[in-house]
């Protein structure tokens, strides 16, 4: 199995065996929960972290990340051609208020992602590469009610030893549905930023404040834990100028990245009936 498959299985097993089981007031569902879960994977040495213990829709997280980098917040603008993953979180204007990319590039009065690239071009050893999606003026703390608030709410980027390392900080992670897509998506962002800055991708770290499995996913989690995959390490080869092409909403880019991944991806069968809990 791939290194990420092993990490993922061990994490699910730990949550099911040692997680605290409580009913969540908002959803009405029981969850098995562990606080403070963190793992790291060296992309260059251990491969791109794409789960193969069940088939993950590659097109979804690739198109989503291009949409983020472009700084968009309407699914009808590019994203819906590839996935409807954000359709359940739109307001009546077909806008995702908390769209990560929009917040990275527009929401706080500055282009955080663009500034990050410029900072690390000029000062590669900087430790100030922090990008936020969480708006303390309206998100959480019993404030404005909305369909969604950011789960991966911040990430930091450091260039150390000629490699770009990304630490993704997640307040809440649905381990069966959200986690595999989040890991693959933000690892893809890491690789794209590394290419843009002319360095190699290094360690991807995923830190979760609340890692949980919903009661309706317990059996599916046990099925994943019992599986054995033959997936080998995936070496991601991005097309040239991926960051700039993402900013331009280049649809051909999605197909090119997918083609490279799919040539190496050997997932086991999907597990049917895993429903999202909103």
Catalytic (active-site) positions? 151
> Reduced to 3 states, what is the DSSP secondary structure of residue 116?
helix
The Cα-based distances of 210 to 11, 87, 100, 227, 270 in angstroms read: 13, 24, 19, 25, 25
DSSP class per residue in 10-55: HHHHHHHHHPEEEE-TTT--EEEEEEEEEEEEEHHHH------SS-
In 3D space, the residue among 233, 232, 234, 252 whose CA is nearest the CA of residue 242 turns out to be 252
CB 43 within 8 A of CB 191: yes
CA-based Rg of the chain, rounded to a whole angstrom?
18
Tokens, residue 259: 């083609």
Give the number of residues written for the chain.
278
A 10 A CB-CB count for 20 gives: 11
With vertex at residue 167, the alpha carbon angle to CA 60 and CA 85, rounded to the nearest 5 degrees, is: 20
Sign of the Cα pseudo-torsion (94, 97, 103, 107, in order): positive
Burial bucket for residue 32 (CB in 10 Å: 0-12, 13-18, 19+):
buried
| Separation between Cα atoms, residue 240 and residue 252, nearest integer Å | 12
């Amino acid at each position: 199995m791939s290194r990420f498959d092993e990490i993922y299985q061990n994490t699910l097993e730990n949550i099911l065996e040692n997680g605290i089981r409580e009913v969540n007031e908002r959803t009405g569902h029981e969850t098995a929960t562990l606080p403070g879960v963190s793992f790291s994977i060296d992309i260059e040495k251990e491969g791109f972290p794409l789960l193969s213990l069940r088939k993950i829709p590659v097109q979804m997280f690739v198109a989503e990340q291009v949409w983020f980098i472009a700084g968009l917040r309407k699914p009808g603008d590019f994203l819906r051609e590839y996935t409807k993953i954000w359709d359940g979180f739109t307001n009546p204007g077909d806008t995702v208020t908390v769209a990560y990319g929009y917040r990275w590039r527009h929401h706080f009065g500055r282009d955080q992602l663009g500034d990050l690239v410029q900072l690390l071009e000029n000062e590669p050893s900087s430790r100030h590469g922090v990008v936020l999606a969480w708006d303390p003026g309206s998100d959480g703390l019993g404030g404005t009610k909305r369909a969604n608030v950011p789960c991966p709410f911040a990430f930091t980027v450091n260039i150390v030893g000629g490699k770009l390392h990304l630490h993704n900080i997640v307040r809440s992670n649905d381990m069966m549905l959200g986690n595999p897509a989040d890991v693959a998506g933000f690892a893809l962002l890491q690789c794209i930023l590394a290419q843009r800055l002319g360095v190699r991708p290094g360690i991807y770290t995923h830190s979760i404040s609340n890692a949980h499995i919903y009661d309706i996913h317990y059996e599916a989690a046990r099925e994943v834990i019992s599986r054995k995959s033959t997936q080998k390490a995936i070496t991601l080869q991005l097309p040239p100028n991926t960051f700039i092409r993402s900013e331009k909403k280049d649809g051909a880019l999605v197909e090119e990245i997918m083609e490279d991944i799919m040539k190496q991806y050997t997932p086991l069968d999907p597990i049917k009936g895993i429903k999202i809990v909103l």
